[in-house]
Amino acid sequence: MSKIERNWQFAEQYPTETEPIVAARRLSLELGIEPVSRSTAAHLSGYAAVMRASAICEIGTGVGVSGLSLLRHAPQATLTSIEIEPEFLREARATFVGAGVAASRLRLIEGDARHVMPRLNLAAYDIVLIDANPEQLLEHFEYALGVTRPGGVVVVPGALGHGRVADPAARDEATQAMRDLLAIVAESPAISPALSPAGDGLLTVVRLDA
């Protein structure tokens, strides 16, 4: 194992998590969902805390790993979370209840984000997380940027695609969509992107002031 690999492994194992997050992570794996990694979850918690986020939106609820992480150090925040799979959303509701998250802080929406996002208020959210169908990434990002306030962030986990994004031979639709997004955000003067190797890659895009 190289030094870079050891560093990555150490960083992944470093964060501690609450029992509800650990339980949600275990349930995710049982249901065949790939949750955000521990280091990615720690980044999400940190973003919400440092920004003192009051409104957070999530595309792809899963069973609540990322949602609980976003709310962990942001007691004043509300979470709007969109999930297309009814079974996952039912499990997520139970996860949030079990973690003691008040119903007044949650808006869990069952549906296709492409239909839900256009109904959300523009420039209303401090953080928008995109963790859904990668083939629809560019469409999700366009909506996400629109509902993010100036100074807010859009966060996209899985930005390295398990090594496929950096592999020129990988030409599948999801990988190409991520490459296209990375190219778009790198060139836009209206946003400030950062790509981290945390987890399977974490893209953070700050919407700059108009």
Confidence (pTM) = 0.96
pLDDT in tens, 49-108: 999 999 999 999 999 999 999 999 999 999 999 999 999 999 999 999 999 999 999 999
Report CA-CA distances (Å) from 1 to 4, 8, 9, 13, 41.
8, 11, 10, 16, 25
Q: Residue 19 gets which letter from DSSP?
A: H
Q: b vs e for 139-174, b when ≥16 Cβ sit within 10 Å of the residue's Cβ?
A: ebbebbbbbbbeebbbbbbbbbbeebbeeeeeeeeb
